[in-house]
Structure 1
């Protein structure tokens, strides 16, 4: 018999808001090169893991998300982590405001409702053709329509009493939602020039309300993110 799931779980992390001048070359390069944006995020965490260590972003629990205000030429970059960041390496002239850091310490219980926003890379695995060689992997294909993105997200919802892993092996969110209230918006794709010419990510923004059904799983999603593209500003779930 499976052990009962905890009725509450605690989420602890640090978040920093970096407001950058989008016209400054430092920020402008990050906007046009997804790999450069990744370097900007990771520049705040030197020394926490050994050089060459495998997947340092995941080890430090680093997630990020950003929005661009073209009218005001402001890039708002939010970075979340399990260790504190040091943003002294960002050129002072590139900062439109002083970095704002907040320590999050919040306990979530079953039945609690929260507003949320997330930017995701909504992809699915297309099986290889029947005549493909053994062990051939499927190809990741992006959803490019809002209705398909909504279905992608709904599959990850977890009604009360359901397990954290769906029968098909998909990891759920630890929360449920009314599909009719979800807002979906397709965002511009991001990419990276040489040497990362193959990097091209479809993105979609999802907003709405979530009702916590499995606090432990929900906190895991807040900590680790959802979906692919987490190194490039996708997958972070921001709640309020």
Structure 2
């Protein structure tokens, strides 16, 4: 079973403000909504915070079972607006190859720079909109979709270019402290986020279902990787 949950957060409450400002606190709070024996073999806990205005902040969660959000709503939301949880499976079962959907994804676009010594390279963030867009387009096939595109001529009129129907609508760097168990100390972490809004076409429904319940890219514990779909108006 997969559950989709929505919680409206209240920035007027102290705990609400703390969660909006501290991704480490939000990570711990989201994990605390579930028991320690939560099984994640068929899907992990994903979350994303969407802020449409200064006062409207929606926390979306996809999880293998329903969260217990009672305390979260009392301390950081409105008791008159309880958490809304629905079975996500009917949505997953509706996916078919060839369908077109509007999508939103907040991700941590990175690449690995080859290392001169040893097999592992250094992980670096993509920093420009063009780099981040190419990252998403390059990732799409392995997750069962393609970003819709069309061709148009360059401003000079002599070259035809491919334009993908996706926009990077928000970019920000998250900075927080995290405990490093390997070295036994706290360290500073910077996580670069990019929010993508666009239109996709399903190329492999099974792979896309897996992406919806397991996420895309890195930084999933800190609000990255959750892909959501809506009926396309295109």
- Same topology, TM > 0.5: yes
Deviations 1:110-167 (A, max 9, x none): 1111111000000111111x3x3x34x2111111211110100111222xxxxxxxxx
Could you tell me which residue of structure 1 aligns to residue 195 of structure 2?
205
Q: Is the 8 A contact 2:40 2:64 kept in 1?
A: no
Closer/same/farther in 2, CA of residues 59 and 213 from structure 1, 3 Å limit: closer
1:140 alignment partner, one of 106, 119, 123: 123
1:57, distance to aligned residue in structure 2 (A): 6.3
The size of the alignment, in residue pairs, is 205
> Is residue 184 from structure 1 mapped to residue 163 from structure 2 by the alignment?
no
Report the counterpart of residue 53 of structure 1 in structure 2: none
1:6-50 deviation digits (Å, cap 9, x = unpaired): xxxxxx62111111111322122222221111011112102434x
Alpha-carbon RMSD across the aligned residues, in angstroms, is 2.0
Task: State the distance in 1 between where 2:22 and 2:144 align.
Answer: 33
- Tell me the alpha carbon deviations over residues 182-208 of structure 1, each in whole angstroms, 9 at most, x when there is no partner: 111342211213645332110001111
Distance, in Å, in 1 between the alignment partners of 2:21 and 2:187 is: 13
Structure with greater proportional strand content: 2
User: How far apart, in 2, do the equivalents of 1:93 and 1:198 lie?
Assistant: 27
* 1:66 pairs with one of 46, 49, 52: 49
1:64–1:58: structure 2 CA closer, same or farther, 3 Å change rule? farther
Alignment correspondent of 2:9:
20
Is 2:74 the partner of 1:84? no
Cα distance change of structure 1 residues 218 and 60 upon mapping to structure 2, 3 Å threshold: closer
Q: Per the alignment, do residues 156 and 26 of structure 1 end up closer, same or farther by CA in structure 2, a change over 3 Å counting?
A: same
Taking the aligned partners of 1:183 and 1:194, their CA distance within structure 2 comes to: 31
Q: Distance in 1 between matches of 2:196 and 2:73?
A: 32
Structure 1's unaligned 5+ residue stretches are 1-11, 50-55, 159-171
Q: 2:140 corresponds to which residue? A: 157
Asked if 1:98 corresponds to 2:82, the answer is: yes
Q: 1:39 to 1:214 in 2, by over 3 A?
A: same
Q: Which residue of 2 aligns with 1:238?
A: 228
